[in-house]
Structure 1
Amino acid sequence: MAQFFKFVFASMLGTFITLIIGTILFFAIIAGIISSASKEKNVQIKDNSVLVLNFDYDIPERTPSDPFSDYNYNDLQSKNTVGLNDILSGIKKAKDDPKIKGIYINSTSVGAGFATVEEIRNALIDFKTSKKFIVAYSEYLTQKGYYVATAADKIYLNPVGGLEFKGFGSEIMFLKGALDKLEIEAQVIKVGTYKSAVEPFILDKMSDANRTQTMSFLGSMYNHFLAKIGKSRKITTDSLRLIANQLLAQSPEDALKLRLVDGLKYKDEIIHHLKAQTKTKSEDDVNVVSLKKYRSSIDETGELPSDRIAVVYASGEITGGEGNDNVIGSERISRAIREVRENDKVKAIVFRVNSPGGSALASDVIWREVELAKKVKPVVVSMGDYAASGGYYISCAANKIFAQPNTITGSIGVFGIIPNAQKFFNNKLGVTFDGVKTGEHADMGTISRPLSDSEKLILQREVNQTYNTFTKKVASGRSKSQSNVDSIGQGRVWSGTEALSIGLVDKIGGLNDAIEEAAKLAKITSYRTVPYPSQKSIFESFFGNVTDDIQTSILKKELGPEYKIYEQIKKVSQLKGVQARMPFEFSVN
């Protein structure tokens, strides 16, 4: 009970503080942004430069177009966010840029899922074909950070630092115990043996089916992880597995002895090493440039091809309405697909999907536009970290689907959840409800009373029908029988590698591979890519989102680790209609 009021108080506190400091922050932020923007204009790259990469931040699909979405409201500083699109294009540009002599990776981790990490790592491996050097250094390396670092020619670790190499784990937060204490019942209607998105609300641990599927796709991703590292470091996968199982890399000396790294150095020694690599005089500084500044130096002028491939970005949970760069709004995304379908200059569409799912209705709205677009021009889906449940729903109509080996996809299943908080209000708060209605089911769905048996049957029929529609559309898009889709559906989650073997995806590859496939299907060789939908302007972002961003920053600081619980409860309270989504807060680390 005290925990509940803590969350309520935290929300009120965040709102109050936001109103008090809003005006002051406005002027501080504007001043900081103008100062930062002026420094990035007309960046000139010097000869013999080293491109510095750092991934210790949450990497979005696209670089934010306005500085407000890239601002840390707690310390009033820019996060220097660069999206995956510009990370990949920057590395590709540096490969052929005579002024860039090599890349220096100075990163502890990567703020993204393993599929995004895979794309970055593959881009770095491609960069090495230019015969330029890549050096990685860190005081501490997480598994994701180390995975990227293994693309480098040399990996150096601080002599008193550390390297995380322990295998993969996945943890799900279960809220049933808390709901029981609050006397709140999660009334669940679902289809799918493996549809584990509802488990946190009705169980206190993983079901056997969920444990089976998680072990399967986690094992698939881990095997790929070990194979790629083994190839780069020339260590057998059995040896790497033993190192992880027995935690043999407990110190920097262990990591060096086991050949996980190439040396132990302090920062000054790394600087000396970079000077040697670039033949810089000892008394001079190494010419270094950050990826963000390098991006602003890229000259896009000149005559561009008239043929275009549209890259439509859909990232985040799927909902109705407009959404934004981090939430897939069915109106915004379907409008973007319709726009490129009707644009004669656009010869093909690449649909970049990075989503754990969401509203089944909103997913169907987007699916319809993909289906219509495919009749006019090629549509190729590029899956990111996730393209599961609703994320797969909006992908299945495409001509071709690309995924990374460690993309998490599938989860073909649906559910509905309606909290019954009658006892919570009655027994915990002393609140009662009364009213009138003109029909037996006029108040169906209210949280102030439980569902009747007849209402549960009504909702179950609705969920069953949605699942039938989902599997039928997957069957049509993938040229399979509906019974086959049902057999690999049932809410089961698959890795990209597993999805390829069962026909849910067509090829293993990243965004650039999908673009090349789209060009091939459209039979064009000269083209340019154009991103959709348009991003918000600086003023739209500030007046639309800045208050929410400030409040979120304050809540995260006040609640600390408990913010995750608050966020979970908030998400549940906002669910509407039948859902096609993955388990809440699923992550691999």
Structure 2
Amino acid sequence: MKQFFKFVFATMLGLVLTTVILVFIIVGIIVAASGEKEVEVEPGSVLHMAFTTPITERTPNNPLAGLSFLGLNSDKSTGLNDILANIKKAKSDSNIKGIFLDESYMTSGQATTEEIRNALIDFKKSHKFVIAYSEIYTQGFYYLASVADKVYMNPKGIFEFTGFSQQVTFLKGALDKLGIEVQIIKVGTYKSAVEPLFLTKMSEPNRLQVTSYLGSLYDHFLTGISTSRGINKDSLFNYANNGRVQFPEDAVKLKLIDGLKYKDELLDELRQRTGKGKKEDIASVDLDEYTKSKTDDNTDDDNSSKNRIAIVYASGDITGGQGDDNSIGSERISKAIRKVRLDNKVKAVVLRVNSPGGSSLASDVIWREVALTKKVKPIIVSMGDYAASGGYYISCAADSIFAEPNTITGSIGIFAVLPNMQKLFNDKLGVTFDGVKTGKYADLGDVSRPLTPEERAILQNNVNHGYDDFTKAVAAGRGKTQAYINSIGQGRVWTGAQAIKIGLVDRLGNINDAIASAAKKAKLKNYNLVSYPEQKSFFKQLDSDVTGQMKTKMLKSELGDNYRVYEQMKGLTQIMRTPQARLPYEIVIK
């Protein structure tokens, strides 16, 4: 027994010492990271841009980015805010000769890509070069790269140019096998978020709206490439429709790209453009490093004005509670809007919305703060990839709304989902239930049985009421009648290009356009930008991030290819809790 206690004590001591050492290592890395010196950019440098991780709205507050620790990877990523700022800075930086767009996967949404693309077009006004190169051109990366002075690819590479498609995964068959009936209560002919739960294919209204917005997205895609490459838009359509691009040589022949080069040949061209000899290293700086640099040419940071324009970032699914940088917690975002409303130094607000929606209640909480802010100071909405359903709800009370042509918006509708698991419990598991209640509706929402007609009527009335509130809010915010909003609502999804024609959006433009509009409305010539809500410190994020990564890693290891199905089912359990104002599905264009 004595030996046992000695062993236990030694083990515990070892764990404590290991933990202490790990804490010191982490703190040391963080201190080192926070004490990094300003990056000096060599004359004749190339700004190296490669997008291999999802692009968030703001650069994460993570000093361990790019490190692998305890088997957990912390990807280094630069947020859209810093990407746009760096391109603007590089335009006037005499040390930067040009931009090199390296192989990227562009897993970001189309509006994010649009903002970066437009920033590159503006950068080219400086007469500095933009060169793009890749072994594999996805359609997303090619759309970005098409603005480059020269577009090159590997001679044996892959060039995707096939058109857009949208696929929906339907789960009804799986739910039937499990004995789960999904009871749907909704408003909106086009509100198709729940279709995968009770259909096996698209409804005709949904097919109509997908055809419409996908056509709008594709038309904008082809128009952009046509303008930048000088190729007729109808020709581009035929190239994709007839499968004309099968090999890299085809892309060159059709003038979609400028040439085929191996990486060493591409590097030789960059040396030539930057005045380097064949054996000299190319001076380059990555995006995240360039964020830490300063130039004498850039005077934006020298503004000492006390006037401020606040940018409130609202990104992700809308839920109750606090949320984080990747989810919109109604408590956190409404508090941030309230804070800038009451701050006399803040003269105007830009609400940056990138959300497919979520809880209708949480959306209404945020909407209220936007409406109150509009009464005392200008508030302008800048829409990102998505500002749909709940994302549009929180936007509609603003003074004006900016969107990209390929922003996904609208989807004005409400739904609720309640599963009936009686067959699963009774027939599959052999589980039965019995109990006592003091009122007819005391167990309303019980998933062990189907809804009664009276209960369904109650839930439908609640959803109808939510839709009525939603359309009233939009009508008031947009200066339209509720009947008109209902006619373009019904859960229908629109692109930014379509939304401006029907009055859901005021102007096409990016976040900088929205900031300029806010400044003009507040009659400001000089101002500083401040961002809200405050990002969590690294230490506050560390525990949840590590725990989350460990859980995800184990699940992926166990489930393999079925992990995607698990994620979908997990999402379903979340939307079954409260009435939702949510986009039908994630829209991914490969």
Range of TM-score over shorter length: over 0.9
Decide which of 84, 87, 92 is 2:83's aligned counterpart: 87
Q: CA-to-partner distance for each residue in 1:262-286, whole Å, 9 max, x for gaps? A: 0100111111000010011222100
TM-score, structure 1 as length reference: 0.93
Q: SS state of the match for residue 101, structure 1?
A: strand
Q: Which moved more, 1:399-408 or 1:77-86?
A: 77-86
1:544 corresponds in structure 2 to 544
Greater Cα radius of gyration, structure 1 or 2: 2
Structure 1 pair 500–225 and aligned structure 2 pair: CA distance change class (3 A):
same
Q: CA deviation at 1:407?
A: 0.4
Aligned counterparts of 2:130 and 2:528: Cα–Cα separation in 1: 29
CA distance in 2, matches of 1:72, 1:385: 30
* More displaced stretch, 424-433 vs 243-252: 424-433
Equivalent-residue separation in structure 2 for 1:218 and 1:558 (angstroms): 36
Provide the rounded CA distance (Å) in 2 between the counterparts of 1:74 and 1:422. Answer: 44
User: 5 Å matches for 1:29-40?
Assistant: 30=26, 33-34=29-30, 37=33
Q: Counterparts of 1:219 and 1:35 in 2: how far apart (Å)?
A: 51
Alpha-carbon contact 2:34-2:63 (below 8 Å) kept? no
- The answer as to 2:226 corresponding to 1:230 is yes
Encode CA deviations 1:2-42: one digit per residue, 9 max, x unaligned: xxxxxxxxxxxxxxxxx9xx969966983895498379533
TM-score by length of 2: 0.93
Residue 578 (str. 1) matches residue 574 (str. 2) = no
Q: CA deviation at 1:87?
A: 0.4
Assess, with a 3 A threshold, how the Cα gap between structure 1 residues 454 and 67 changes in structure 2: closer, same or farther.
farther
Distance 1:245 1:282, change over 3 A: same
1:183 aligns with 2:179: yes
Cα distance in 2 for partners of 1:211, 1:355 equals 22
**How far 1:394 moved relative to its partner?**
0.2
Deviates more, 1:68-77 or 1:545-554: 68-77
CA distance in 1 between partners of 2:547 and 2:238 (Å): 49
Distance in 2 between residues matched to 1:141 and 1:39, nearest whole Å? 38
Give the 3 Å change call, closer, same or farther, for CA 270–302 of structure 1 in structure 2: same
Q: 1:29 to 1:580 in 2, by over 3 A?
A: farther
> Aligned partner of 1:514: which letter?
A
Moved more, 63-72 or 84-93: 63-72
What is residue 266 of structure 1 aligned with on the other side?
A: 262
Give the distance between the partners of 1:298 and 1:443, measured in 2 at CA. 63
5 Å-filtered alignment, 1:430-579, equals: 430-575=430-575, 576-579=577-580
The correspondence of residues 127-526 of structure 1 with structure 2, limited to 5 A, is 127-298=123-294, 302=302, 304-526=304-526
Kept after mapping to 2: 8 A contact 1:393/1:474? yes
Query: CA, structure 1 residues 26+457, in 2 after alignment: closer, same or farther (shift >3 Å)?
Result: farther
Deviation at 1:318, TM superposition (A): 0.3
Tell me by how many angstroms 1:79 deviates. Answer: 1.6
Residue aligned with 1:196, SS: coil
Pairwise CA distance, 1:301: 6.3
Structure 1 residues 367 and 301: alpha-carbon distance in aligned structure 2, compared to 1, 3 A threshold: closer
CA contact 2:38–2:294 (8 Å) conserved in 1: no
Aligned to 2:11: none
Structure 1 residues 301 and 414, CA, compared in 2 at 3 Å: closer, same or farther?
A: closer
Q: Distance in 1 between matches of 2:26 and 2:263?
A: 35
Cα deviation digits, residues 445-493 of structure 1 (max 9, x gap): 1211111110000000000000000000100000000000000000000
Structure 1's 509 and 213: CA in aligned 2 closer, same or farther, altered over 3 A? Answer: same
Seen in structure 2, the aligned counterparts of structure 1 residues 73 and 571 have a Cα distance that, compared at 3 Å, is: farther
- Verify the 8 A CA contact 1:187 1:418 in the aligned structure 2: yes
Instruction: Return the offset for 1:586.
Output: 3.6
Q: Which amino acid aligns with 1:521?
A: K
* Structure 1 residue matching 2:264: 3-state secondary structure: helix
Could you tell me how far 1:296 is from its partner in structure 2? 1.5
> How has the CA–CA distance of structure 1 residues 528 and 560 changed in structure 2, closer, same or farther, with 3 Å as cutoff?
farther
* 1:8 match: none
| Partners of 2:72 and 2:550 within 8 A in 1 | no
* Mapped partners of 1:446, 1:70: distance in 2: 47
Structure 2 CA distance for partners of 1:455 and 1:518, relative to 1, 3 Å = same
Q: How far apart, CA to CA, are the structure 2 residues paired with 1:519 and 1:314? A: 20
Percent sequence identity is 58
Which runs of no fewer than 5 residues in structure 1 stay unpaired? 1-18
Find the aligned partners of 1:188 and 1:25 in 2 and give their Cα distance. Answer: 54
Task: Quote how far apart the aligned CAs of 1:304 are.
Answer: 2.6
8 Å Cα contact 1:109/1:146 also seen in 2? no
Query: What secondary structure sits across from 1:484 in the alignment?
Result: helix
Q: Secondary structure at the match of 1:553?
A: helix
Number of residues of Structure 1 aligned to a counterpart in Structure 2: 569
Unaligned runs of 5+ in 2: 1-14
Q: Does 1:48 align with 2:44?
A: yes
Letter in 1 for 2:415: F
Structure 1 residues 222 and 570, CA gap change in structure 2 (3 angstroms) = same
Letter in 1 for 2:443: D
User: 1:23, 1:501 → 2: CA distance?
Assistant: 60
Mapping for residues 46-85 of structure 1, pairs under 5 Å: 46-67=42-63, 76-85=72-81
Cα drift, residue 565 of structure 1: 1.2
- Secondary structure, in 3 states, of the residue corresponding to 2:131? strand
Question: What letter matches 2:425 in structure 1?
Answer: F
> CA–CA distance in 2 between the matches of 1:284 and 1:39?
31
One-letter amino acid matched to 1:121 = R
Q: Distance in 2 between matches of 1:33 and 1:261?
A: 43
1:56-79 alpha-carbon deviations (Å, 9 max, x no partner): 111100000124677667854442
SS of corresponding position for 2:151: strand
Counterpart Cα distance in 2 of 1:430 and 1:298: 68
CA distance in 1, matches of 2:48, 2:110: 21
Query: Structure 2: which amino acid aligns with 1:307?
Result: N
For residues 229 and 176 of structure 1, what CA distance do their matches in structure 2 show?
A: 40
Q: Distance in 2 between matches of 1:246 and 1:301?
A: 51
After superposition, give the CA deviation of every residue in 1:323-373 in whole Å (9 maximum; x if it has no partner): 001110000000000000001111100000000000000000000000000
CA distance in 2, matches of 1:26, 1:563: 31
